[in-house]
Chains A and B, each alone.
Chain A
Amino acid sequence: SQQGEEDPQALSIQEGENATMNCSYKTSINNLQWYRQNSGRGLVHLILIRSNEREKHSGRLRVTLDTSKKSSSLLITASRAADTASYFCATDGGTDKLIFGTGTRLQVFP
């Protein structure tokens, strides 16, 4: 069963706009991670936020975590065409592995 569910499933924006993706999960976690996948390629780790953190930044990425609502959001500011990809959240959920959501497909138009 899926631990993380991303929303929306797909998102289209213009270059320069901000993109926000959300992730909801079901069980308590130690950390939540976001990954990017360019079409058909391997996933690339973007950022990790621990359960005792509320917000984290990395370049144009901002991640928030609300453990009371079991949700996280990924904000990409000033999007570029090169940001076009699928984005996945992943949680540990108390298991011996990361469980990935089904992803948000982001299309950034020049």
Chain B
Amino acid sequence: EAQVTQNPRYLITVTGKKLTVTCSQNMNHEYMSWYRQDPGLGLRQIYYSMNVEVTDKGDVPEGYKVSRKEKRNFPLILESPSPNQTSLYFCASSLSPWGAQGGYTFGSGTRLTVV
């Protein structure tokens, strides 16, 4: 089954404790992206990747890091999480940045709480 797999589904952590949210896709998509979703603010892009070893900042990259060492994986790293990073996070992948061929495929989301 074609899918984007995110882990974990839920995470509660403390301020300053480094964490990684994993994302993996099995569709050989070149484009991958991370979004955060907050009430009233919609989906905002954090980082994206056009291909292996190519990453770039989205609209809200502060406090986040990513890497793309393999085509299928695109982990999101929070080096020192803060409470304002409490949010619902989504990983997405597609054949092109604009989803012109079949749109974006989203993961099920990671609900992160930083206390």
A residues adjacent to B (C-beta < 8 A): 2, 30-31, 33, 35, 40-45, 48, 88, 90, 92, 96-103
Shortest CB distance B85–A (Å): 18
The verdict on A30 contacting B98 (CB below 8 Å), with A40-B88, A43-B104, A97-B58 known, is: yes
Residues of B within 8 A of A43 (CB): 43, 90, 92, 104, 106
What are the residues of chain B within 8 A of A88 when measuring CB–CB? Answer: 42-43
Determine if A2 and B108 form an interchain contact, defined as CB atoms under 8 angstroms apart: no
Which residues of the partner chain A approach B98 to less than 8 Å between Cβ atoms?
A: 30-31, 92, 97-98
Q: Which of B4, B90, B104, B108 has the most CB of A within 10 A?
A: B104
How far is it, in angstroms, between the C-alpha of A99 and the C-alpha of B99 when the chains are bound?
A: 11
Binding site for A on B (CB under 8 A): 4, 33, 35, 40-43, 45, 48, 50, 56, 58, 88, 90, 92, 97-100, 102-109, 111
In the complex, what distance in Å separates the CA atom of A42 from the CA atom of B104? 11
In Å, the complex CA distance between A44 and B3 comes to 11
Q: Is the CB of B106 within 8 A of A98?
A: no
Which secondary structure dominates where chain A touches chain B? loop
Q: A31-B100, A96-B97 are in contact. Are A45 and B105 (CB under 8 A)?
A: yes
A45, B100: Cβ atoms closer than 8 Å: no
A41, B58: Cβ atoms closer than 8 Å:
no
**Shortest distance between the CB of B106 and any CB in chain A (Å):** 4
Residues of the A chain whose Cβ atoms lie less than 8 Å from the Cβ of B108: 41-42
Within the complex, what minimum Cβ distance (angstroms) separates A37 from chain B?
A: 8
Smallest distance from the beta carbon of B63 to chain A beta carbons, Å? 19
Q: A84 to B28: give the CA distance in the assembly, Å.
A: 32
Which partner residue on chain A sits nearest B43 by CB separation? A100
- In the complex, chain B residues whose CB is within 8 Å of the CB of A103: 42
Sorted nearest first, the 5 A-B pairs with minimum C-beta distance are A45-B103, A42-B106, A102-B42, A92-B98, A100-B43
Q: Nearest CB to that of A33 among chain B residues?
A: B103
CB distance from A53 to the nearest CB of B (A): 13
